[in-house]
Amino acid sequence: MTNADNPTFTDHRAMLTAYLVRHGQTAFNAEGRIQGWLDVPLDDVGQIQAECLARRFSEQSVQAIYSSPLVRAADTARVIAQACRLELVLDERLREYHMGDWTGLTAEEIRMAMPTTPLDDLEATIPNGESAQHMRERVAAFLRDLIARHDGEAVVLVSHGGTLGAMVGAMLGLPVMRRHPFAFGNASLTEADYERGRWRLRSLNDRCHLQG
């Protein structure tokens, strides 16, 4: 994260650990459909994935858990919160991108309905959708609050692929873009630490808890 995105802190602050979790699988994920702000619930696979995450976090020390209010994220987070005996906090800033006219469509359906839309352009504007700049601003504001509230603690953040991409981009000070050169599988875990005024990425898209 750049200095412009951060409040000013002195170097004596203890390390904050943020565990970034993508929600479990939904039927739309399995079909390759864009969800955006649609409230699509976890499918049977997603429920199992949430339980795998809960088992992993039950063995770690965690002080707080935040989630997007969208049901696929919130239901994943509730399973983790129960295992950690924590109260879940919902935050609107952790929502997925608002995908506008692309909501509910597959890539092929978008190509058929909007033949002039450059889907391969990473900076393509989504008709009636949310901009990458707006997403950066809302996740950067969330991270500033997180740093101020959780000095020296470990927190879980359950969100969405696009949101987590924007969040990691903000942490690392990458240019604002809608799609970053990394991905987050369903029920994946990414770890980042904040210490002495900067973020460090410790792991990315870890899904070892789903094996077996």
Where in the sequence numbering do the catalytic residues fall? 23, 96
Are 6 and 144 in contact by the 8 Å Cβ rule? The answer is yes
DSSP letter at 209 equals: G
Contacts of 212 (CB under 8 A, 6+ apart): none
Strands (E), 59-109: 64-67, 88-90
Q: How many CB atoms lie within 10 A of CB 88?
A: 18
Kindly give the interhelix angle for 132-149 and 161-172, rounded to the nearest 10 degrees: 70
CA distance 23 to 192: 18
Distance of CA 190 to the CA centre of its chain: 9
DSSP letter at 6 equals: S
DSSP letter at 94 equals: G
Judging by DSSP bridges, how do beta strands 189-195 and 16-22 pair with one another?
antiparallel
Place of tokens 């983790």: 80
